Amino acid sequence: MQAVLEALPAEGAWVVGGTVRDALSGITSDGALDGFDIDVAAVDGESWARRAADVLGSNPFRLNAAFDVWRIPLSVGQIDVWNLPDGDIERDLRRRDFTVNAMAAPLDAFRSGDLEGRLIDPAGGHTDIELRRLRLVSDEVFESDPVRLLRAIRFEAEGGWRLDPRLQTAMRRDADRIAESAPERIWMELSRILQSERLPWSLRRLERGRLLEVLFPELTAGRGVDQRPVHRRDVFRHQMDAAGWIARLTDSEAPRSGRMSSLWRALRSIRSDEATEEALSDWKLPLRLATLLHDIGKPQTRTVGDDGSTHFYGHAELGAEMAEERLSALRVPHNTIAQVSLLIRHHLRPGQVNAPGQPPTSRALYRFHKALGDAAGPLCFLFLADSLATVGVDVLLPRWSAYTEHVARILNWQPAWRSSSAAASLLDGRGIMSAAGIPPGPLVGRIRAKIDEAAAIGEITDVEEARALARSLAAAAQE
């Protein structure tokens, strides 16, 4: 980064915002995801950006017309340039969000290392950095840009900042304003919060700040919806608990003591599998989101039996549809929506894959893996988190090994492909039509699916048996 700083024109330019905050916190910008990220405020920002880009061999572009921000992309990072039409840097800083982001230093002072000596800090951000405290620059911060409501929680989740009481009060006051923000910006902040290691705490912060009820009214509709005698908490609190458990169960580091260490020890045989670990990593965001929303269909499907017990028939299917609608409104990527929907739709399946007291059959396991694919591992972890949230860790812990063994049995199942791979690969659609004497059509696909299943569970082991099954299935379909 130093070489880039040395090349930049210093006159009329200040390093601002997160760059200064991180420098004072001892965090280098080189640790950013795509290299370093420098924020600069400059008199006549467009002209400065073009001059800087010429020196660095880059092509600037306008990033945000409303705020007049230009970006200079580089091979190892980027520089964002904020326009200062009147050159009043203090006035610019007082329009920013949090005091720790409302500091600046002349560019020449920043690159020479004289940051604190020439620091411009009108709102007291340096003191707040030392206290790890997040304060608003003014009471109008959320009004001017409501997405800052979520940014505050993201700062707390990712950086361990402590929210000032006045900020928390302003958050509750202005929570409804979040709906005024662009859905894409809301999702950008939410996705980072959901993936943070402090997810349980962040969800409580979103709830206390009234943001959950604005962003996910389907979730908070579960408040007070009783689901006894099986569940110990109402629908809303159950989902919040489950989301907390999924974060703990899929954490990258095992806890050293306490009940969580006992839970983790029983998961070792599952998490030692590379494919499962890779799937948990790939599905981290949709898994956490699906766990949070997995029962949103319950309030609308609740019925009470003659014995007083509650039932929620069809809630998984309805919940999947509701999640798709809500996430589409937030402009969540289509692939993520599909993943969340799949997990919610099938979240009961790991507990229903076998009859009570019986191990799951090869046919049931084949169909499970056929339907879920690489979502099998994430779905089983949702099942475990759901179970813990249902009855509580104290009740489930004595039976925890039985739950993890059940999941291991599901995930460790392998099809009998070694002896039947020829049947699976050689008897394609043409082979089925030839063996059964049938024309092209949907029947061919249905027969092939049954042949694949029979080969996977070892009912057939060679091509001739596959041909015979094709003939039998075709004859039965034509009766």
The pLDDT tens digits for 4-34 are 888 898 899 999 999 999 999 887 544 343 4
**In which band, very low, low, confident or very high, does the pLDDT at 230 lie, cut at 50, 70 and 90?**
confident
Q: Which of 385, 376, 358, 465 is nearest to 414 (CA)?
A: 376
Say yes or no: 333 and 187 in one domain: no
pLDDT for residue 287: 98
Q: Rounded to the nearest 5°, which phi and psi values hold at 346?
A: -110, 15
Structural domain contains residue 466: yes
Structural domain contains residue 164: yes
Q: How many residues does the chain have?
A: 479
For residue 310, what are the β-bridge partners? 304
Cis peptide before 229 (omega within 30 of 0): yes
Residue 57, exposed/middle/buried by CB under 10 A (0-12, 13-18, 19+)?
Answer: exposed
**What are the DSSP calls for 14-37, one per residue?**
EEETHHHHHHHHT--GGGSTTSEE
Say yes or no: 387 and 467 in one domain: no
Task: Write the DSSP symbol of residue 306.
Answer: T
The Cα 218–Cα 301 span in angstroms is: 13
Q: Quick: pLDDT tens for 249-291.
A: 998 877 777 788 889 888 988 888 898 999 999 999 999 999 9
With a CB cutoff of 8 Å and minimum separation 6, the contacts of 409 are: 359, 360
Q: Looking at the predicted structure, is the pLDDT value of residue 84 above 50?
A: yes
Structural domain contains residue 129: no
Rounded to the nearest 5 percent, the helix, strand and coil shares of the chain are 60, 10, 30
The Cα 390–Cα 381 span in angstroms is: 14
Are 54 and 47 in contact, with CB atoms under 8 Å apart? Answer: no
Structural domain contains residue 441: yes
pLDDT for residue 31: 39
Tokens of 140: 């109008």
Q: Helices in 217-348 by DSSP H: which ranges?
A: 217-220, 235-249, 258-271, 274-282, 284-293, 298-301, 315-329, 334-345
Q: Looking at the predicted structure, is the pLDDT value of residue 423 above 80?
A: no
What's the whole-number mean pLDDT along residues 322-327? Answer: 98
What's the whole-number mean pLDDT along residues 402-410? Answer: 95
Tokens of 456: 């996977």
The Cα 325–Cα 316 span in angstroms is: 14
For residue 41, what are the β-bridge partners? 14, 82
The Cα 315–Cα 48 span in angstroms is: 57
How many degrees, rounded to 5, is the angle at CA 199 between CA 198 and CA 204? Answer: 105
For residue 71, what are the β-bridge partners? 61, 80
Structural domain contains residue 405: yes
pLDDT for residue 178: 97
Q: Helices in 373-462 by DSSP H: which ranges?
A: 376-391, 393-396, 400-412, 417-426, 429-436, 442-456
Say yes or no: 394 and 426 in one domain: no
Which residue in the block uniquely carries the two structure tokens 């996910």?
216
**In which band, very low, low, confident or very high, does the pLDDT at 417 lie, cut at 50, 70 and 90?**
low
How many degrees, rounded to 5, is the angle at CA 64 between CA 27 and CA 9? Answer: 60
Q: Say if strands 162-163 and 77-83 run parallel, antiparallel, or are unpaired.
A: unpaired
Structural domain contains residue 131: no
Q: Looking at the predicted structure, is the pLDDT value of residue 419 above 80?
A: no
**What are the DSSP calls for 212-223, one per residue?**
HHHH-HHHHTTT
The Cα 405–Cα 407 span in angstroms is: 5
Say yes or no: 106 and 175 in one domain: no
Q: Quick: pLDDT tens for 443-463.
A: 999 999 999 899 889 888 888
The Cα 309–Cα 87 span in angstroms is: 69
Percentage of the chain modeled with pLDDT above 70: 96
Choosing from 215, 238, 259, the residue where a domain stops is: 215
Say yes or no: 306 and 422 in one domain: no
Say yes or no: 382 and 327 in one domain: yes
Tokens of 351: 């507990």
Structural domain contains residue 134: no
Range of the domain at 179: 139-215
What is the Cα 410 distance to its own chain's centre? 24
Say yes or no: 315 and 426 in one domain: no
What torsion do the CA atoms of 170, 80, 120, 122 make, to the nearest 10 degrees?
-20
Say yes or no: 238 and 377 in one domain: yes
Choosing from 198, 215, 232, the residue where a domain stops is: 215
Tokens of 216: 């996910």
Task: Write the DSSP symbol of residue 42.
Answer: E
Are 470 and 432 in contact, with CB atoms under 8 Å apart? Answer: yes
Strands of 56-132 (E only): list them. 61-64, 69-74, 77-83, 104-106
What is the Cα 403 distance to its own chain's centre? 25
Q: Looking at the predicted structure, is the pLDDT value of residue 193 above 80?
A: yes
The Cα 87–Cα 82 span in angstroms is: 11
Say yes or no: 14 and 72 in one domain: yes
Total domain count for the chain? 4
Say yes or no: 241 and 315 in one domain: yes
Say yes or no: 407 and 453 in one domain: no
Q: Which of 138, 110, 149, 153 is nearest to 19 (CA)?
A: 110
Q: Quick: pLDDT tens for 155-169.
A: 999 999 999 999 999
The Cα 317–Cα 85 span in angstroms is: 55
pLDDT for residue 173: 97
The pLDDT mean for the chain works out to 92
Distance set, CA 285 to CA 185, 291, 322, 343, 460 (Å): 17, 10, 18, 12, 40
Choosing from 360, 382, 412, the residue where a domain stops is: 412
Say yes or no: 316 and 233 in one domain: yes
Residue 335, exposed/middle/buried by CB under 10 A (0-12, 13-18, 19+)?
Answer: exposed
Q: Find the CATH number of the domain harbouring 145.
A: 1.10.110.30
Q: Looking at the predicted structure, is the pLDDT value of residue 418 above 60?
A: no
Structural domain contains residue 7: yes
